[in-house]
Amino acid sequence: IMGCIPDRTTNLCSDQLIAKPATPTHLNVTSSLETLSLDGYFSFNNNNHAAKDFGNTYQSLPLAVLYPKSVSDISSTVKLIFNMGSASELTVAARGHGHSLQGQAQAHRGVVINMESLKGSQMQVHTGERPYVDVSGGELWINILHETLKLGFAPKSWTDYLHLTVGGTLSYAGISGQAFRHGPQINNVYRLQVVTGKGEVITCSKSKNPDLFYGVLGGLGQFGIITQARISLEPAPKMVKWIRVLYLDFSSFSKDQEYLIASENSFEYIEGFVILNRTGLLNNWRSSFNPKDPMQASQFNSDGKTLYCLEMAKYFNPDVTNVIDQITESLLLKLHYIPSTLFMSEVSFVEFLDRVHLSELKLRAKGLWEVPHPWMNLLIPKNRIHEFADEVFGNILTNNINGPILMYPVNKTKWNNNTSLVTPDEDVFYLVALLSSAVPSSKGTDGLEYILTQNKRILEYSARADLGIKQYLPHYRTQGEWRAHFGPRWKAFARRKSSYDPLAILAPGQMMFKKGI
């Protein structure tokens, strides 16, 4: 990859990452791992895929990849490494679907556990008063959707993209357009089974081992490997009315978003995005959407303007279409969008939830999926969002970024504050996601260096203006930066680390704790 950020320890880019000749210590470690009696197996060669991720900028080659077939494969591997003590540098990274952005699921010369191998056991859907599904930590959300739909149920809270694992999203939060009502995915879990950094297998919930349960949720993989999760479900709709409307004025856009997330009977999904349309080229925001009034819509001229698109979804079943039309219409009547810019689409529930996969297939076909992704996700308090929008969309981002800019508020009163996730202090805050793709080898405005510099400028401005933002899916290189990120909650986080992973074996790619220190 041209323009790659080299591996932190070896200083090599991916094409230079070739397995080094084994040293005596390596041989000892390798033979120790080989003595384990496993249901699955270790791979010591051809592990380059485990040195990469979706971000496509960080690469660290592991010593071995474990393909576990059972929870005990994971626990005996971690236990063996724990018993080697702090003299050994060996670390362990659970790898979900490898959709991290900066090497968080990698382990330099350590063991990567390929969590998707664990998903062999059947998913168990339980209906009744409090429906739930028991799934493996390595299960993909798209598979959970298909399996639960067989009984007419589905999880309540999602991410925009479903080809991610349960363990991967629960280690952060799992935020999408349903989070204003149900909270993020970490709020919709009843129970976890976890392998700690000592190799113990522990079941935890809000009443059993709650310290570990809340620590692991949003815990960046620091306290244990999630091997099983019990996810809460609700009856699933068959269809979705998917609506997009446009604004030229940021105030009306954000006021409408805030109004919608505050009312009990609004849409089931509320998001939004920013279209920096200075080049005159409209993004593909309206592909597969039909204007309510095609005549008027064709007269709407957006060239050279910054537009704000509010995106909503109303779930429904085909037998109640009339009622849903009325409810949707009365909700839309309360909003202040440009009347000619009402766009609608009706799709199945699965098509709606799996929408980003369609874009993935298109980008893959053009060779544009496996490019560097210098993404930045920010959580910004509601009372500072206008300042942020003025500066960032008015001054700092002078070109449209090569990818969507999501922007929507969520309501923290619906979120559980006992998890490890760090959010701004205010009850309502915005998620702003700058999801850029870089053009490999470009030195221009679509190149990696340029985008990283632009991201840095946004962070520097936010710090200077003291906006009280927190990064989501954060990436820091030093413990000092992590301490600042956690603020007063760092003490509890560090205490949990010393209880559950005292040798700092787990998730070294987060660069929070160094083994043996």
Residues involved in catalysis: 99, 160, 271
Alpha-carbon distance of 491 to 153, in angstroms, equals 40
In the bound complex, what is the minimum distance in angstroms from residue 162's beta carbon to ligand FAD?
A: 9
Closest to ligand FAD by CB, 169 vs 266, is 169
What is the total residue count of the chain? 517
Alpha-carbon distance of 517 to 508, in angstroms, equals 13
Q: Please give the single-letter amino acid code of residue 501.
A: D
Alpha-carbon distance of 277 to 401, in angstroms, equals 10
Is 187 within 8 Å of 174 (Cβ atoms)? no
C-alpha closest to that of 448 among 114, 58, 147: 58
Is 195 within 8 Å of 82 (Cβ atoms)? no
Phi and psi angles of residue 365, each rounded to the nearest 5 degrees, phi first: -60, -30
In the bound complex, what is the minimum distance in angstroms from residue 251's beta carbon to ligand FAD?
A: 26
In the bound complex, what is the minimum distance in angstroms from residue 165's beta carbon to ligand FAD?
A: 3
Please give the residue whose beta carbon sits closest to ligand FAD in the complex: 167
In the bound complex, what is the minimum distance in angstroms from residue 508's beta carbon to ligand FAD?
A: 9
Is 154 within 8 Å of 145 (Cβ atoms)? yes
Alpha-carbon distance of 327 to 273, in angstroms, equals 24
In the bound complex, what is the minimum distance in angstroms from residue 295's beta carbon to ligand FAD?
A: 35
User: How many alpha carbons lie under 13 Å from residue 298 in its C-beta half-sphere?
Assistant: 2
Count of CB atoms situated within 10 Å of the CB of 142: 16
Closest to ligand FAD by CB, 161 vs 337, is 161
Report the 3 state secondary structure along 192-226: EEEEECCCCEEEEECCCCHHHHHHHCCCCCCCEEE
Closest to ligand FAD by CB, 274 vs 473, is 473
Closest to ligand FAD by CB, 331 vs 439, is 439
Alpha-carbon distance of 164 to 104, in angstroms, equals 14
In the bound complex, what is the minimum distance in angstroms from residue 338's beta carbon to ligand FAD?
A: 27
DSSP single-letter state for residue 20: P
Closest to ligand FAD by CB, 192 vs 275, is 192
Closest to ligand FAD by CB, 94 vs 297, is 94
Alpha-carbon distance of 137 to 116, in angstroms, equals 8
C-alpha closest to that of 118 among 166, 70, 171: 70
Closest to ligand FAD by CB, 93 vs 335, is 93
Closest to ligand FAD by CB, 93 vs 503, is 93
Closest to ligand FAD by CB, 66 vs 93, is 93
Alpha-carbon distance of 346 to 350, in angstroms, equals 12
Tell me if residue 463 falls in helix, strand or coil.
helix
* CB crowding 351-372: b at 16 or more within 10 Å, else e: bbbbbeeeeeeeeeeeeebebb
* Sheet (strand 405-411) strand order: 290-291, 342-348, 239-247, 306-316, 269-276, 405-411, 428-434, 376-381, 470-472
In the bound complex, what is the minimum distance in angstroms from residue 91's beta carbon to ligand FAD?
A: 10
| Pairing label, strands 189-196, 342-348 | unpaired
In the bound complex, what is the minimum distance in angstroms from residue 368's beta carbon to ligand FAD?
A: 13
In the bound complex, what is the minimum distance in angstroms from residue 68's beta carbon to ligand FAD?
A: 11
Alpha-carbon distance of 430 to 118, in angstroms, equals 35
**Contact partners, residue 172, CB within 8 Å, separation at least 6:** 218, 220, 421, 472, 473
* Residues within the interface to ligand FAD (CB under 6 A): 53-54, 93-100, 104-105, 115, 137, 159-161, 164-165, 167-169, 171-176, 221, 225-226, 356, 473, 507, 509-510
